Each structure stands twice: as structure tokens, then as C-alpha cells.
Structure 1
Amino acid sequence: MAPSMLDVVGEKFLPFRCHPGTLSYCPSMDLIAVVTILNVPGDDAETEQKLGVWRLNGQQVFGWDAPAGLAIQFVKWKLDGRLLALGTSDGAIRLLNVMNAGKMVHCLYPPPVESTVRPGLSCLAWTANFGDVKGMKDLLEEEAKGSALDELFSLDFGKKAVGKVKADLPRELACGVDVETSIPKLSALPPGTGAGGGWGFGGGDDDVFSTRASMDAIFHSYSSTSNRPSRYDEVDVLLTGFEDGTIHIRIFDCFDIGSVDLTSSLPKDSKICKVLRHVAHPLSSTHALAVQTTTRKAACQLHVIALDLNFIPQTSPYYLSTLATKSTQLLNLLRYLTQVSTHLSIELRGAFDLPSKLVRNINETLAQSADGQTDFITAAYQLVVTGDCGDELRDWMIDEVGERNIKRWDKASALGMENIRRFTHECLLPALERCQVVVSRLEGLSRFTKSAQVLGLDLQSLDRVMDMVDCLNLLGHYLLKTVSKEIKQFTAFMKWLRLEVEIQGLERENAGGPGSERLDELCMRRDDLDVRTVLDYIQGVMGKSAMVAFVRPSVDARGTSLEGPSYDWSQNQADVGFYEVFKKMLKINLGPGKRPDLDDLLRRLTGQAQKVFDGIAQTLRKSVLHGRVCTLQQDCNADATTARMVLKSEGQHEVVFATTNRTEASQISLHYIPWDPAHPSQVPRVRDFTIPHNEGAQGIQFVDDSDLMVLSSGQEKAHLYTLSYTSPDVVWQERHVFDLSGGAKIPSELEVNGRKGRRAACVLEDGIKFTVFDLDSGQPDEETAQDEDTMIE
């Protein structure tokens, strides 16, 4: 039979050469991510890298430039295709929102290490597990059970199965009823604050809250209104492997579980331990890891490690997904509140920056005068009450303030105070209300003794968090009341100042002469002023705004730090009941450092919330177990290894590792490992296959639970083969042929998407062009296949 040629559904010539190993096909959409290297002309070094996400028609969806000096080492899609994870050379994992033009929503930095040299990244994996496996199988009716597991994570699966979900009233009441859906969404913040929030999210996330799409991705990605029926039991797991044999586990995008050291499960004389591959199955909480080691006896060995995330099935009946999503929401709300605090400080500084400069000049002039008026407040108070204006004050009003600066003063202060009121009313207080809802949900889980122990929740710690949120809420209302009062006073003050500037200008022009009608008219308008409000502003805000007691401006007009003394929390170690103490403090005029301001309360809240997160992570991390299953053959090529976990018909799992041979380029070895958590140590069944025509393997990828795709190349031709690795017979199916004559580009990398109904293979040629093939093209239908099988028999 003549070889079948696959249909080409997309191809693209890249603007620059691709970085090896970064080609990634989206599992749920026809999108391809690839990292290209931008070289400066005349420079052989890899200077810059850029991520590009492309459609099959060659159109770029978005691009993302790597920070200067950093290399993108790994690219991994989330199963639903909404987020894209990038592993960079600094050890950080950056999550990009695909639905919002690649805006970064999280920057997850690696945990601190004692060593001066931080281990590099060696593996990045993003998978998902169902906590209640039996409940997940029972959730869907018979007609939906036939759907492939990959389809469960597609964007539109919930719409297809919306009528097939079985009703579960207790679970809906526990997980589906969420009051947050009835709360208005938080307002977006202006970009450019540069506030990381102390959560390891700094370094470029200053605009993560600047658009509605980013806000939705951060706060509503796990909303209970999701169409997907698996939303109650699905646990997203993000694993990061390092070159020192440790892995870092996160769930639900950014909730930190912590690091696990795998070296205890490896040979004692191992010198180099590098986590290379990860494979998992949604219906098994036991993951498989391939770890490369170097010992005295063997130059390089590849070990299979079983990583059992026991906390997923153990905590599923106690609503792990609710715990993790609410904790993640609280963490993101603290990031949001930190940036709101930064905006408030900037606006407060901007509101009084220009006035402080102008007032400082007149104060220096008045201090040298001999008329007894030593500062602007005294002189202005005298002018309002008596109408008598000294020469120095008159000259300052006319020459320095004038019409131009009075407009600038009005614009800067009015805009700054109005922004403070807006940020407080539209951002600070709504975010605190959401914090109260989230913490109350966590408190509800902690009040059940058994779930509190399993989930690691401490009711007393949550009470401290709630008490501090209440203090912030009270401070926010006081700040809103204060800024509204000062805006009213400022409006009256500016009306008086404009009037006095014009009056004093006319008086200086008519000095010693008869008054003008205009001057008389302006003097009569003094009676219309709200003198009491003007005096209150001069005596109060012109000296020191009351808002400074709530929000600490970052620097003054001269650039001097205004941090000032922070509140000494040693006076209130227990924190519980501090709300009543703080309420009394707000009614008393205390000096700097005697009463906590917004920054003090946020720092305290951050520390208390971190204790809650640490308690949860420590409890969950205790249930993470690992052990060595087996060691693969000595001649396995660790750099060309792929794996898949297959669900067998009897409900057991099997892990299949496919590797190329270090000495024989045309040989592929498949290691079949029975996956039984009760008996972790196993002896793999090994099958060796030789690629037709003795061609060298360029790439191997699993398509599904039955087929393995191999990209091979020879002298004149390159091929795409499919190998049925579950069949006892060795049957190579030639799917596509590449003609390498005439200087054609040589295929060098393979990426496969085995999504049901849209199976595709992406081949990278010479690092400069990728071609996408439809794997379902040229395939015979079921009747034709049966006829061919009959003929073969």
C-alpha cells in the first residue's frame, strides 16, 4: 500500500530561530507557542528571547518579551488553554493570560535556598487530578462517560454536558452557592505602581490588575459559575523540578504547597540528581517522575519515582478545592490591597506636593520679616479674619501663586484627593468586603473539627485575620469620611484664594490711589465665603492633612522619606480583640507610631494570612510520599524521553516510558511499568523497536493510549511513523514523508496534540519553520478498517 500523506493544516516561517525544546501545542485550542532567539547583528551570543503564540494560519495571537538577561527554558500550557506557564533561567514561573493578549497574572519565584548557588529548572509540568474518583465517574451519565479525559478539560465541554450532570443538592449547597457571585466585581487599577506585595509576585506584575480581563483571570478563574461539571473535584497541579533533585508543588495556579526532596528515594551515592520528566493521570493521585542521577559506578542512570499526592483524595470529602480557591483568592486580594495602598500613597503625595513647595517658600520669607507673622498659616488666618494682608504675603500671592500656579494647585490637589476618595470607595472597601467573605468561608470549614485537622485550618489564626480585616475596613471608612471633608474644605479654600489673589493684585495696582469698582465688587464678595470652612482648612490641612494618619505618603516634595515610625505590635501580641482597641485609637489624636496606619495593618494582615497559608501547606505536604519504582536501562537517552500513564480496562494504571538509545539512534525502547501505589517497587517490561530504514529518531511523542508517533530522518528522506505500542505485534505505519533533497529543511522537533476530534502533529523544521499535520486525515473509517483487517487475516 502507498504511504498516506497527512494534510497540512497550518505552517509558519518564524521570524527568528526557535529555542530548542520550547515548541508547545495548546491541548484545548489550535494555538502553538514557541520561543525564538533574537540575535543582535555581529553578536554570536543569545541576547534576547521572545515568546510567540500563533494560530494555524500563521497569525500571531500575542508576543511576550523575556526580561533582559533571562532565558525561557520551558513552555507549558494549562489543560484548559487559558494560561501559559513559562519557566525562566532565574527559576521563576511566569503565568500568562492567553485570553488577555498574554498579560502576566502571576510571577512565582522559587523558594529560598541555603546554598549561594540556586539550582536551575529542569522540568515543568501542569496537570490535574480528580479528588473523588468514584464521584467523578458517577457525576456523568452513561452517554457522557465515553468522552475522552482530555475532553473534560476543554473550554466548551461544560456546554456539551450541561444536561448530563447529575443533580447533587448537598454538594451544590456546600460548593455551588457562592455569595461572591452577587458582589460587584473589583475595579481595575491604573498600571505602573510596581508593587509586588511581598508575595513573590514582583518583578513586572505592576499592571496585572490594570485590565478587566486580567482581573477576571485572577479573581474569577475558579468561579462557581464555571460551565465545567468537574469544577468541584478537579485539582490543578503545577510541578516544578530542579537540578538538585527537589520538586516544588503548587495547586490552583499559585497556592503554594512547598518543596519535596526526592534524593532520599535515590541511590545513596548519587552525585547529580535532576528531575527530567513528569507524567500523571486525572484519575490517579500518584504521579510518575523520571530523575536522572550520576554515580561512581554508572555515568548516567534514569530512575522512575512515584510521587503520591495523598492530600488530594484524603481532603476531597472535606472540600479541598473550596479551601485552595478561597485561600488563593485571599492571597490575590492581599496583592490587590497592597497595590491600592501604593496608589493611595502616590495620590496623597501628589495632592500636597505643589502646595508644600509654595508654602515652604512663603514660610522662609515670613520667617525673615519683622511684622510678627512667622508662617503662612498665621498670615492667612489674619487675612481671613481681619482682611489685613502683609506685603510679603501679598507679593507671594501675586508673583508666585498667580493665576497659573493657582490652576495647577487646584488641579493637583483636587485630582489627588478625588482619586483618594475613588480608590477608597471603589477599590479598598470592596476588596475588604471580599476578604471578609473569603475568610468567613474558611472559618466555616475550620469549625468542623475533622475537616480542620485534615485541611490544616486553625480557627484562632483565622479569627486574627478577620479581626485585622475589620480594622482595615474601619480605617477605610474613616479615610473616606476624612477625604470627603477635606475636599469640601479645599473647595472653599480655593474659592477664597482665587478671590484674594485678584483683590491683592488690584490693591497693589491702585496703591495710594482711588479704588476701582472691580475692587469694591470683589471685596463685597468676601461676605459670600464660608469663612469657618476656610479657617478649618488653613488651620488643619495646610498644617498637616488628617489623611496622613491613615495613609503614609512615600516621600515628601524634597524626596525625603516619610516612612516614619511603624506601630509597635508587641503591645498587642494576641491580636484577637484588637478591633475594639483600634476603634478607641481612632477617636484619639495620637502621635506618629502610636496608632497603626494602612501600611501597618496590611503588613500585619499579610503576616497573619501567611501563617494560615503555611499551616495549610504544611499539613498537605505531610501527606506527600515518594519512592523509587525502578531504574530504566543504562543505554536510555535521558534527553529524548517521553511518558504516558494509561488507564487499563480493569481500573489499574500503567506507565509507559519511551526512550531513544544513546548508542543506536534508530532504536526505541518502551518500558511498561505496572502502577500500583500499594506495591511501588516494580520490574518494567521492556520492548525494543527499530525504526524502519534504520533512520535516526528526531522526536517521539505519545498520541493517545494506543499510539506512539516517531519523527525520524535519514540521508534523503524523513518520516512520521505511528507505532501501536499496546499491540503485541510490531506494526509501523508510515504517515508522512519529507523529501530532504535539494537543500530542504530537516525536521528536528515533534509536538503532538491528541485531543479527540482534532489530533494534530507539529513538526519543527531547521528551527525556523513549523508545519501542522492533521493526524486524522488519510485514516480509514471503521468499516474500511474492518474490511482491511479481514483481508489481512
Structure 2
Amino acid sequence: MAQENQLVLFSETEYRERAPNTYPVSCPTLDLSAIWDSAGRNLLVCRPPSQVVSKIHQVGAPGEKAPEAQTVTWRPDGQFLAVGWSDGFVRLMGLENNKAAHHIKVGESSGTKITHIGWASSSIASRSSDTVPRALKNGLNGDPMLGEEGMPLDLPRELTFLEIDTALPKISPLPSGSAGSGEDSMVFTLRTGIDFLFQTPTPEEYDQVNVMIIGTSDGQLQLSIHDSFIIGSFQCPALGPSPLPQLVLHASHPQVSTQALLLSEKPEGSEGPEEVHIVPMDLPFISSSPINLSLLASKLTALQKLLRYLKQAQLHMQVEWKNTRELPTRFLRSIEGDLENLEAGPRGIVPALYHLAVTGHAYEPVREWLTESLAERGHKRWDKAVMAGLENLRAIVHENFLPALDRCAVILSRLRGLAQFHDTRDDIGFSVIQINRLMGIISSLSLVGHKILIHVMDELENFTAFSTWLRFQIDRLASSSSMGEELTEKEATMDTGKVLTYIEHYLIDSSLKAFFDDIQKEDYEADWAHIEDGPALLDTLDEQLTKSATGQPSMKALPHVEFLVAYATDWANRIFKGIAEAKKRSVRFGKPIRLTTEHPISLMDMRVCKMKNQIMTALTSTGTKNQVHVFSVRIDIVNGISTNQHSSSCCIDLGSRTLIDFKFLGDETLIILCSDPDNVPRVLCIPTQQDRLPYGDHDPNNPINTHRVSADDFVTYSFPESSVLKPVRMEVFDRNDVRGEMPPRVSLLESSRTTLKTFAFPCSSA
């Protein structure tokens, strides 16, 4: 007789709308769930009892509908939510705000659907864990610098992951008033977004790396590590003469570098596939990378984020620069025609105002312009536009741009050290020469940033004097003669030298023009080609800035912030590509393992177990409502490369019960949700070990001969009375303490599809 226990109601979540198929998707570490709102085209993250924590919405291109979410996956630690959208992007969302932290472009062809996102955490095989004990042991009896095999000892893990940039000031949010453009326009304007993106790795993360595998409808697989570092794309292995297979499921184990992929042909009609194939995907670089993969990936993704931040800072700087020029230019343009028509006197605004400042005499067009066109109101607008623009520009350079460059330099210094240490290897994907080149670009940007600060301070100082003088002239020319003496006393306190300097050098031109003005395409391409030939960039830039300051012919595009940021991004992408290709070369797909049932497959789940490196798969078919087929595939892994071994299977017969859903819990249990003949739901816990189920050899051509076992003798769980009416979908989660203690639990979606109930297993049985 089966032992029966009762589950405990943990929480209950009510949704405002019906959950579509494949939803909700619950968080593995928190009592949260994601659901798609098809009416508003929003992805809602909810928590019990009915609170919406976050509303995620993507704006469509002009004239197009907003994209919709096609697949959703949580990161194993519950910190990120990966959402595959119909516009071909996977966006990684944090819980702190609804702005995308990362944007991953998937595929090149339009119309490709994202079918599945697999996200897992893998441990890195490391010798550093016993370095200190071995050092103490060997240091007493022999050379303290040599280990047991006479090899130099590695540095302790804590020293390897020493974070120098934690001593630097925090990255500041960019101003929201002059937001940049594109997908990153807002994410860097929020303190929560900045803190979330630039997190220091914790000691628990030193020996692990996240792996993401994205499958698309055209049979492509895209591999990324550490959330956003793309290794590359692969074609799904051929399964015979059939059309392109698709990724339908992914499973892994933290201690196993090989990933398990479940592929199927694209089914015709509404029925499921006739068969599925397990394909091992070997990632030997996880366990055999010469550089600690967690360290390398964290530095590379941090550099990627800093370059995105620099691009947005550059766009903000561009906006502030334009703000300082647009309104004054419109005011000055309004007087140009009148001055050109003068029969005698200055024909431009610069000599006209210079004449006014030196002599106190205003030509009639200047008088009318100052007292009628500009007047007090216009002067206030002019003063506010220029002062605010220059002060904001100064703040962005000082608080955002230069600190980000400092952090880039720290990361590149670490990467250069790694490249120097592994200089004799050709499998790390980058070299000292490449890092030095990128460091030269960052140094050039730093030089430009400091030059901008100097010019901004000079222009601010001179404009302050000019603005005071301009207001004085407006008041003087508009006032009665009785005010003359008082105004003359006020004029005596002004710094006329700075006024004249501003009129002559800044009024219609600016030293900042060299860094922010529009670039001609010909100049852009010519300068890019010139610096590609290999001259020392910092020396070249310094030389060109000197020529520009002295009025000599110089390179037009090189000093521009936009140009240098683009060049830094381009060089960084070359380094990223080299590293990715070095990792991609080691990726290998194993031989497909065919799994079949008697009818088209309707439900499936998969689990990788560390014990004997088994891949456990559970399938059921549309023709049988009371059977679950369990497959055990053993693989041998040597140096990260897998070899298929024995495949076995058995069939669990539910008897008079009706199957609803099933999922694996941990490495040794299959949870089956079913209903009794009287429609009372039950949960069965099926042990999947080889000695607990009657496995037999699997013959994919004759699945009807699979060994069968009755489910009557397995542990059964009931639900509290009246707590569940008619569940239609189940999710299962193991115990975890990532964000507080969470018991092993099952989440059930009611037939109304508006209620999600979560039940915990009793502590004694968990």
C-alpha cells in the first residue's frame, strides 16, 4: 500500500487575466511568477496574493505593433529574467526595474521565432581550492614555490578575484533630462539599474559561470556565457533526412560541463513530435580554460557594459553641447541680415559686439536687436541655455565619462596581465598587443575628456562675464538717460577682457567644436584608415590637438568623442570575437539519441544527474493518459568530451489515474501530477534510480516492449481539503537558500488559468 502524505499550502496568486499556454513561469528562488498579458502586450511579474511587481513592455518600431514575448526563462539564482521577444531579441530583465539590462540579438533572418531559452549555472573545475593547504604542506618540506608535481603553485582564489575597482567611486547615473538613444537610453539613468549592472562578483560566484543556450525556429543554437557574452551560433545537428530540428528543452547539472539538448522535428498540425532526440553539447572550455572562466567572463561583460555606458554618456554630452549652441545661434542669426545691409560699419555680429564692448557705441541694428528682439526675456533664455548646457556637460564628463574610463583602464590592465601570463598559449583568444591597442584608445578618450573639461571651464568663466555684460547693455540701451551714471558704475566692475575673449573666440565658434561638431563622412573614413595603420594613437591625438589649437591643418574626426568611442567599441568587439572563437572551436555535439513512445509526444521533461552522468528524460504521448515513459541515458565524460553509453527505459503505469503533468525534482525523483477516478488530484513521487525502477534496454523502433511498473506502491501526496479544484499545469522546484530558505514545492495552475497555488513538501519528506 502506498504511503500517503499531505502537502502544505505555501502561497496563492491571483491573476487579472487568464494565463496563456506555457504560462505562468515561476521563479526558482522567490515566490514570484511571470505571466503574459496579451491585451496590453505586457509581461507581468507577480507575487502573492495578486500584486504586480514589474510590468515589462517593449515599444514597437514606428507603425508596427509592440513585440510579444515568445518564451521566458529565469536564471537559476532568480536574479534575471530572460525574455525572448518576437522582434528577434532576448532581453535580460532585473527585478529592480523594468528596463532591460542586456539585449541579445538572436539570428539574422527576420521572422525567426525564439523557441526555447535554456539557462544554467556550471561549476568550473579549479585547482585553486586546495592551493593554500598544499602550499602549507609543501612549504615546510621543500620549495615553497613548487607543488606536489613540481609545478608552480597558483595564487589563492581570493587574490585572483581581488577587485581594485571597488576602491573607485561608484558609477553615477546619467541625467534623465537628456536621455540617449536606443535600447540603453534609460537603463543607465537609474541608480537601481546602475547598481544591478555593475555588481561585484561574490565569492560564491568565483567558481561558476552561467550558460545560456537559445534555440530558434530555423534550427539555430546561440551560446552565451555570463549572461551576455556571446560565444557563437551553431546549427542543430541533423537528425536524418528530416527538416531542420529545433531545440525544445535544455537540461544541465552544475558539476557537469556537458549540456543536454532535447531536439525535435517541427511537428505538422497540432500534434506533438513523433520522436525526440537527446544531443549532448560538450563545452570543454568550462572545465579546461587556462584562465579562470568566471574571472574572464565577468571582466569581459563588465567591459561590454562600460562601453555601452560610455556610448550613452557620449550621446548625453552631444545633447548638452547642442543645447549650448542652438538657441544663441538662432538669436544671432536674426541680426545677420540687418548687419549685412549696413552701408557703413561692421558687417558681422562679432565685430559689432566687439565695437560695442570697446567703445560703448551701438549701431542701430544692434540697438534694436538688444532692446527689442533679445530684451530681458531673451537674455534669460540665452543665459539659462548656455549655463545649464555647459554645467551639465562638465558634470557628465567629470561624474560619468572619466570614471567609466578609469574602470575600463582597470579591467584592461587585468586582461593585459592575464595575456602576459598566458603569452605562450594560442587558445586564450587575445594578445597583449590587442589589449595595449585598446588601452591606447581609452587613454586617448581620457585625454579628450580632460581637454573638454578645461575648455568647458574656460568657456563658462568667459560666458559668465559676457552674460553679465550683455544684460547690462540691454538695460543701458533701454533705459532713460537718468540711469546713465548708475549703469556706468556697474560697468566699471565688469571684466571687459573676458567679455572680449568670449565675443572673439566663443560667440559663433567654440573650442569644444573639435570634440562635438558634426563629422563629414570623408573625414571619418580617412581618419579611421590612418589610425588603423598602427601609429601610437595617444601621440597622434596629442599632435593633432596641438595643430588644431594653433590653426594648422589637422585630422577632423579623430578628436571627436563619438569617433573615439566607436573606435574603442570596434577594437573591443575584435577582442571579444577572438575570445569567443577560441571557446567556440572547442564546442562539440555528441551523437543524437533517439527516444520514442507509441504515439506523438505531448509532454516532456529532462534532467542531468551527476551520478554516473545520467540524462533522465520523461515523456508521455497523446494516445495514453495514464503512462509516463522514463529514459535513462548514461554518458562518459573525459576532458569535457562526452561519449554515449547505455540507454534504458521503463514505463510508469498510473492505472485508473489520469495524467495531468510531470516534472523532475532533484536528481532522483520524478513528480507526477494526476487525478483519481473521482477527479481528486494527487502527487506521486517516483524514485528514478536504476535500483528503484525496472529499466530495460531502450529500442526506439519498438517502444511497446518497454518494461512497465505500477505507480500504486510509490509515495503519494494529497492536497489540503478544498485547496485545489482542477489543476492543468505544474511546476516543481527544489529546496534553495539563495534568497532565504525556500522549501521544495510544486506550483499548480487551476483550470480557470487565473489562480496559481504553491504547495510545500513536508519537512520530513523534503
Separation (CA, whole Å) in 2 of partners of 1:542 and 1:370: 24
CA offsets, 1:404-427, max 9 Å, x none? 111111111100000011111111
Matched to 1:722, the amino acid is C
Deviation at 1:769, TM superposition (A): 0.8
**Aligned twin of 2:190:** 211
Separation (CA, whole Å) in 2 of partners of 1:139 and 1:772: 45
2:213 paired residue among 208, 232, 239 = 239
2:242 paired residue among 256, 259, 270 = 270
**Aligned twin of 2:141:** none
Matched to 1:466, the amino acid is M
Matched to 1:310, the amino acid is P
1:672 paired residue among 621, 625, 632 = 632
**Aligned twin of 2:696:** none
**Aligned twin of 1:26:** 27
CA offsets, 1:19-58, max 9 Å, x none? 22132232222x222213343xxxxxxxx33222233444
Is the contact between residue 41 and residue 66 of structure 2 (CA under 8 Å) also seen in structure 1?
A: no
Match of 1:673, SS state, is: strand
Query: Within 5 A, what are the aligned runs for 1:660-699?
Result: 660-677=620-637, 680-695=643-658, 697-699=659-661
**Aligned twin of 2:688:** 725
CA offsets, 1:575-612, max 9 Å, x none? 45121111111112246736431111111111111100
Deviation at 1:295, TM superposition (A): 10
With the length of structure 2 as denominator, give the TM-score of the two structures: 0.87
Separation (CA, whole Å) in 2 of partners of 1:655 and 1:134: 27
Matched to 2:55, the amino acid is G
1:765 paired residue among 746, 750, 761 = 750
**Aligned twin of 2:56:** 64
Query: Within 5 A, what are the aligned runs for 1:361-760?
Result: 361-449=334-422, 452-506=425-479, 510=480, 515-516=481-482, 518-552=483-517, 565-566=523-524, 568=526, 569-589=528-548, 590=553, 593=556, 595-635=558-598, 638-648=601-611, 652-677=612-637, 680-695=643-658, 697-713=659-675, 716-726=679-689, 728=692, 730=711, 731-736=713-718, 746-756=726-736, 758-760=743-745
Do the aligned partners of residues 419 and 195 (structure 1) sit closer, same or farther apart at CA in structure 2, a change above 3 Å counting? closer
Give me the CA root mean square deviation.
2.8
Query: Within 5 A, what are the aligned runs for 1:117-136?
Result: 117-132=110-125
Deviation at 1:268, TM superposition (A): 3.5
2:255 paired residue among 283, 292, 297 = 283
> Is 2:174 aligned against 1:189?
yes
Deviation at 1:634, TM superposition (A): 4.4
**Aligned twin of 2:330:** 357
Match of 1:447, SS state, is: helix
Do the aligned partners of residues 414 and 299 (structure 1) sit closer, same or farther apart at CA in structure 2, a change above 3 Å counting? closer
Separation (CA, whole Å) in 2 of partners of 1:581 and 1:450: 28
Matched to 2:23, the amino acid is T
Match of 1:676, SS state, is: strand
Separation (CA, whole Å) in 2 of partners of 1:601 and 1:133: 39
Separation (CA, whole Å) in 1 of partners of 2:430 and 2:273: 46
Do the aligned partners of residues 776 and 364 (structure 1) sit closer, same or farther apart at CA in structure 2, a change above 3 Å counting? farther
Is the contact between residue 79 and residue 126 of structure 1 (CA under 8 Å) also seen in structure 2?
A: yes
Is the contact between residue 94 and residue 104 of structure 1 (CA under 8 Å) also seen in structure 2?
A: yes
Do the aligned partners of residues 233 and 299 (structure 1) sit closer, same or farther apart at CA in structure 2, a change above 3 Å counting? closer
Deviation at 1:62, TM superposition (A): 2.2
Separation (CA, whole Å) in 2 of partners of 1:350 and 1:538: 19
Matched to 2:748, the amino acid is V
Deviation at 1:694, TM superposition (A): 3.6
Separation (CA, whole Å) in 2 of partners of 1:636 and 1:339: 54
Is the contact between residue 97 and residue 193 of structure 2 (CA under 8 Å) also seen in structure 1?
A: no
Worse overlay, 276-285 or 660-669: 660-669
Separation (CA, whole Å) in 2 of partners of 1:192 and 1:710: 54
Matched to 1:776, the amino acid is P
CA offsets, 1:667-705, max 9 Å, x none? 10000111213562334211101224241x222111122
Is the contact between residue 90 and residue 103 of structure 2 (CA under 8 Å) also seen in structure 1?
A: yes
Worse overlay, 76-85 or 488-497: 76-85
Deviation at 1:450, TM superposition (A): 5.2
> Is 2:3 aligned against 1:5?
no
Is the contact between residue 23 and residue 32 of structure 1 (CA under 8 Å) also seen in structure 2?
A: no
Deviation at 1:753, TM superposition (A): 1.1
Is the contact between residue 467 and residue 575 of structure 1 (CA under 8 Å) also seen in structure 2?
A: no
Separation (CA, whole Å) in 1 of partners of 2:15 and 2:471: 63
Do the aligned partners of residues 700 and 138 (structure 1) sit closer, same or farther apart at CA in structure 2, a change above 3 Å counting? farther
Note the residue ranges of structure 1 that are not aligned, 5 or more in a row. Answer: 40-47, 141-167, 197-201, 554-560, 782-793
Is the contact between residue 564 and residue 592 of structure 1 (CA under 8 Å) also seen in structure 2?
A: no
Matched to 2:68, the amino acid is A
Separation (CA, whole Å) in 2 of partners of 1:616 and 1:281: 25
Match of 1:344, SS state, is: helix
Separation (CA, whole Å) in 1 of partners of 2:260 and 2:129: 22
Separation (CA, whole Å) in 2 of partners of 1:647 and 1:540: 72
Deviation at 1:388, TM superposition (A): 1.0
Deviation at 1:538, TM superposition (A): 0.6
Matched to 1:103, the amino acid is K
Is the contact between residue 421 and residue 483 of structure 1 (CA under 8 Å) also seen in structure 2?
A: yes
CA offsets, 1:82-126, max 9 Å, x none? 11111222231111111x13432112111424xxx4431111111
CA offsets, 1:167-213, max 9 Å, x none? x98224642322111111111012376646xxxxx43x311111222
**Aligned twin of 1:158:** none
Matched to 1:673, the amino acid is V
**Aligned twin of 1:148:** none
What is the aligned length?
Answer: 705
Query: Within 5 A, what are the aligned runs for 1:314-325?
Result: 314-315=288-289, 317-325=290-298
Match of 1:453, SS state, is: coil
**Aligned twin of 2:165:** 180
Do the aligned partners of residues 57 and 594 (structure 1) sit closer, same or farther apart at CA in structure 2, a change above 3 Å counting? closer
Do the aligned partners of residues 660 and 59 (structure 1) sit closer, same or farther apart at CA in structure 2, a change above 3 Å counting? same
Do the aligned partners of residues 235 and 680 (structure 1) sit closer, same or farther apart at CA in structure 2, a change above 3 Å counting? same
**Aligned twin of 1:776:** 762
CA offsets, 1:345-365, max 9 Å, x none? 111111122111111001122
> Is 2:91 aligned against 1:94?
yes
Is the contact between residue 334 and residue 606 of structure 1 (CA under 8 Å) also seen in structure 2?
A: yes
Is the contact between residue 630 and residue 649 of structure 2 (CA under 8 Å) also seen in structure 1?
A: yes
Is the contact between residue 552 and residue 563 of structure 1 (CA under 8 Å) also seen in structure 2?
A: no
Matched to 1:601, the amino acid is L
Separation (CA, whole Å) in 1 of partners of 2:258 and 2:9: 38
**Aligned twin of 1:147:** none
Do the aligned partners of residues 139 and 622 (structure 1) sit closer, same or farther apart at CA in structure 2, a change above 3 Å counting? farther
Deviation at 1:621, TM superposition (A): 0.3
Separation (CA, whole Å) in 1 of partners of 2:25 and 2:193: 23
Query: Within 5 A, what are the aligned runs for 1:147-166?
Result: none
Separation (CA, whole Å) in 1 of partners of 2:485 and 2:520: 45
Is the contact between residue 34 and residue 44 of structure 2 (CA under 8 Å) also seen in structure 1?
A: yes
1:171 paired residue among 137, 153, 156 = 156
Separation (CA, whole Å) in 2 of partners of 1:471 and 1:434: 15
Is the contact between residue 136 and residue 233 of structure 1 (CA under 8 Å) also seen in structure 2?
A: no
Deviation at 1:258, TM superposition (A): 0.8
Matched to 1:177, the amino acid is L
CA offsets, 1:706-738, max 9 Å, x none? 221122246733333222222525533331259
Is the contact between residue 270 and residue 294 of structure 1 (CA under 8 Å) also seen in structure 2?
A: no
Deviation at 1:134, TM superposition (A): 6.7
Do the aligned partners of residues 661 and 646 (structure 1) sit closer, same or farther apart at CA in structure 2, a change above 3 Å counting? same
Is the contact between residue 402 and residue 446 of structure 2 (CA under 8 Å) also seen in structure 1?
A: yes
Do the aligned partners of residues 192 and 645 (structure 1) sit closer, same or farther apart at CA in structure 2, a change above 3 Å counting? farther
